[in-house]
Chain A
Amino acid sequence: MKSNSKIALLFLAPAISAILIFFFIPVIAAFVISFTDFDIYTLGDFSTLRFIGFDNYIKLLSDELFWTALKNTFYFVVVAGPLSIAVSLSAALLLNSKLTKFKSLFRLAYFLPVVTTLVAVAIVWRFIYHPNFGILNFFLGLIGINPIDWLGDPFWAMPSIIILAVWKNFGYNMIIFIAGLQNIPEELYEAADIEGANAFQKFRFITLPMLAPTTILVSIITMIGYFQLFAEPYVMTQGGPLNKTLSIVQYMYQEGFRWWNMGYSASIAFVLFIIIFIGTIIQFRIQKFNK
């Protein structure tokens, strides 16, 4: 038995050491750095490093830009998260319906944005959103709505990013939902048919409960992913206008890799970690409560 576990350890050693070297050590180093003022001067002359305790974290609390970024990120997660799940669930239901034709074609088409490079997508969407020549404003004009400066208006910039992100990402969750839907035994629906249940009742009392594990998985993945919002605003708006699309990861990136305030940037990373951690726990609790 004992020698067995030794052998197991031996086989695990490469994986464990890789995780140690490339994951745990950097995380611990970042944690230590978050208590220092590691910056560009430190990179040149290590003696300028100061241990400043919780100063970075305290500074964060009074940093208006940090709160703006946090607020924007929450706005994005709270609106785009459920919206994205709703869209991908609807798409999955449509594709799973017996009435739909050319299923694999649609599945491919809906999945295409997921695998397309974001930078290319962003360029196209910047044209779509263009205030004067954009196709979106053209269609709005047909029904008599005045042109909107989608990316330039502080009010509309974040909704624009949300629409883009939902469109870009729903295909991935849709595939997971389709898999979940196909796992629901057909007999349940047949039984419901015999009992005379209508389509909505079948959806409410069979599909949704049976999909609960899939939904919780999808919502956790989506939440974690959306809290790390970065690329969409980075390529579309660079955080503007008026910082209305600045996300927390973008702020962290700016502080760390643009201005080399590594200490401060690391403290932002750990605050983000704690937020995502709490979010995940809450979602697990909700699931347990439902059971």
Chain B
Amino acid sequence: MIMFFSAIKKIFLYISFVIIFGCSNRQSDVIEIKFWAMGSEAEQVSKILPEFEKRNPNIKVKVQQIPWTAAQEKLITAFASDNTPDICQLGNTWIPQFSSLNAIVDLTGFVKKSSVVKPEYFFPGVWETNIINNQIFGIPWYVDTRLMFYRKDVFERAGFNQPPKNWDELYLLCKKVKELDKGAEKYPIFIPTNEWNSFIIFGLQARAKLLKEKDTRGNFSSKEFKEAFDYLIRFHKEKLTPFGMMQVTNVYQAMAEEYISIYLSGPWNIPEFKKWMTGNLADKWATAPMPGHKNEYPGLSLAGGSSLVIFRNSKHKDECWKLIEFLSEPQIQLKVYDVTNNLPSVIEAWKDSSLANDIYMKAFYQQLQNVISAPKIPEWEQIVFSKLQQYAEFAARGVMTTEEALKKLDEDTDRILEKRRWMTFRAK
């Protein structure tokens, strides 16, 4: 028995030694900051960080990888349990959510003093997505936007030597392409109803105001949005596009087989297209900016990408800001592009030959000058993912008319925004 107790005593002593000396060790001036990044970015960014740690020997960055699909859940759970990281990568449509949670801090003070991070160094449309109530909540890390991927050879066979410049041309082109192989099950374009982005992009091109009354009510029945919605649903009604992702399991294969000839999507597809379009198909595809509504070209697209944010609970905000400045340097941005294929958010980086001479990138550079932010409210994703996509599908399959669908969409949006109305208009 005594032996037993003495053993316990020894263990206790050992543990307390570890605690006392372990802690004092850590206090030797090295500050550790927790950086959460998503998907492959996390893996790749670790390769770039040693340079940052070399420049700042007193800072150690601990990168944690979280999968994209579970990222939002993990972050909100971390917030609810006070376990947030110091710095994090956030999809820029998530910034409204985290700023309304009061989880991330306003970076205006840092930006004013910085010589590396200045608003004019970034694409204006993308920078704008990070600003809520005149406060800067995130610094763009990389950008993306949607534009047109298309089959050059199919366009040429249909008599078009250039990508379409406006809505009418796009529609006409699709009609022509459809007539090329009558009878074959092929579609000129792919506008899936389970990707809300196209509907919003065309709506914004038609200058629709998506929400009204201080963003507390839906405004999808407006003349402008209805025009865009009708325009896109017509592609479905006339069998110019498959309904959704279910019909096209693999977009790249579908493109290679000419099952579809146009896909409106983002830069993450480029490596995949390069992989699938090989041999004599290698030079048969291209990228082009979005067609415009009438005479404006390029047409508008949505500002996407990821921003870097600092969490309110962080005790090392200055160190985090140093990391943000490091990641915003043009040559570091290029390195990130090199290892992740994510497009730089800093305009200066685009002057590098690796981007300036890339034939697929030219369209992106053009498009990124013409991007606009989606409404910046925390409920936005719920509105578009759960409601807009649903009613787009109902309209595309002819279960509802477009009027009915948009009326219902407005009703549902109003229901979702009930709390926001209450918070906006309650007596303060």
Contact = CB atoms under 8 A, between A and B. Distances in A.
B393 A37 contact: no
Contacts of B399: 242
Nearest to B382: A259
Secondary structure dominating the interface of B:
helix
Contacts of A43: 76, 79-80, 101
B378 A40 contact: yes
Given A43-B76, A149-B246, A152-B243, A240 B101 contact: no
A43 B399 CA distance: 38
B247 A131 contact: yes
Interface in A55-89: none
B246 A48 contact: no
Interface string B88-113: 00000000010011110000000000
A149 B247 contact: yes
Contact of A241 (B79, B97, B244, B382): B244
A237 interface: yes
A234 B103 CA distance: 30
Interface string B381-408: 1100110001001100101000000000
A257 interface: yes
Given A131-B247, A242-B397, A259-B382, A39 B419 contact: yes
Interface in A7-45: 37, 39-41, 43-45
Given A126-B249, A149-B247, A151-B246, A40 B386 contact: no
B80 A130 contact: no
A254 B97 CA distance: 16
A176 B102 CA distance: 53
A237 B246 contact: yes
Interface string A126-154: 10001100000000000000000101101
Contacts of A41: 100, 378, 419-420, 423
Contact of A40 (B101, B390, B394, B422): B101
B194 interface: yes
Secondary structure dominating the interface of A:
loop
A251 to B, nearest CB: 10
B29 interface: no
Contact of B393 (A39, A242, A259): A242
Contacts of B100: 40-41, 44
The contact size tier of chain A is 20 to 34
B244 A240 contact: yes
Given A242-B399, A254-B386, A259-B382, A152 B246 contact: yes
B73 interface: yes
Contacts of B385: 258
Interface string A85-109: 0000000000000000000000000
B80 A240 contact: no
Interface string A217-253: 0000000000000000000011011110000000000
Nearest to A157: B246
B101 A259 contact: no
A270 interface: no
A151 B97 CA distance: 33
B419 A37 contact: yes
A231 to B, nearest CB: 14
A123 to B, nearest CB: 10
Contacts of A40: 76, 97, 100-101, 378
Nearest to A257: B73
A237 B245 CA distance: 10
A238 B385 CA distance: 12
Contacts of A37: 419
A190 to B, nearest CB: 56
A172 interface: no
Nearest to B383: A259
A125 interface: no
B101 A241 contact: no
A230 to B, nearest CB: 15
B104 to A, nearest CB: 11
A259 B386 contact: yes
A56 B249 CA distance: 38
Contacts of A131: 247
Contacts of A50: 422
B418 to A, nearest CB: 8
A259 B244 CA distance: 23
A135 to B, nearest CB: 14
Nearest to A133: B249
B36 to A, nearest CB: 18
Nearest to A153: B246
Contact of B101 (A44, A149, A154, A254): A44
18 contacts: A37-B419, A40-B76, A40-B101, A40-B378, A41-B378, A44-B103, A45-B102, A48-B419, A50-B422, A131-B247, A152-B246, A238-B194, A240-B194, A240-B393, A241-B397, A242-B397, A242-B399, A243-B390
Interface of B: 73, 76, 79-80, 97, 100-103, 194, 243-244, 246-247, 249, 378-379, 381-382, 385-386, 390, 393-394, 397, 399, 419-420, 422-423
Given A130-B249, A241-B246, A241-B393, 12 more contacts: A40-B76, A40-B97, A40-B378, A44-B103, A131-B247, A152-B246, A238-B194, A240-B244, A241-B243, A241-B397, A258-B386, A259-B381
Interface of A: 37, 39-41, 43-45, 48, 50, 126, 130-131, 149, 151-152, 154, 237-238, 240-243, 254, 257-260
What 3 pairs across the A-B complex have the smallest Cβ distances? A44-B101, A152-B246, A259-B382
